[in-house]
Amino acid sequence: MSDGNLVRDRFFREQIEADKEGWVLISHFLNCNKVKSMGISSAKIAEVCADSTEVDVSNDKTKIRRKDNKSLPEKNLERKRDAKASGKSEGRAAAKTPDEDQVDADGKIVLVEKDFDNP
């Protein structure tokens, strides 16, 4: 729900945009891997978010939205993929850039040769 995440998160942007008041079902967050690993319930999410200064919780405690239906940040859906494709990542050494024949038209890697006996 943060600006930093919503500049590139298509799914949650679509969920927010689909509701004129910006509500997102808490059940959608239960499908996120980080939330799954915590093993928490939608009721617990609603409870924790109730005191938040960043999000609102619906009266029925099944939905949350950005505080006061704050507008979405400008899209930058390429940011995350571009950093990976170029081999640049903050705090990490640059990865080997794949050959042109190893990426599709969208820049996604489609073939990578690895020596699994000698990584």
CATH number at residue 16: 1.10.10.10
Q: Is residue 88 part of a domain?
A: no
Alpha-carbon span 47 to 99, nearest angstrom: 49
- Structural domain of residue 32, as residue ranges? 3-69
Is residue 116 assigned to a domain? Answer: no
How far are the Cα atoms of 22, 45, 63, 106, 108 from residue 60, in angstroms, in the given order?
15, 13, 8, 42, 41
Please tell me the total count of domains within the chain. 1
How far apart are alpha carbons 54 and 39 in whole angstroms? 23
Q: Quick one: pLDDT at residue 76?
A: 79
22, part of any domain: yes
Digits of tens for pLDDT over the chain (119 positions)?
888 889 988 899 999 999 999 999 999 999 999 889 999 999 999 999 999 999 999 999 999 999 999 999 988 756 454 444 555 545 444 455 555 556 666 666 665 555 555 54
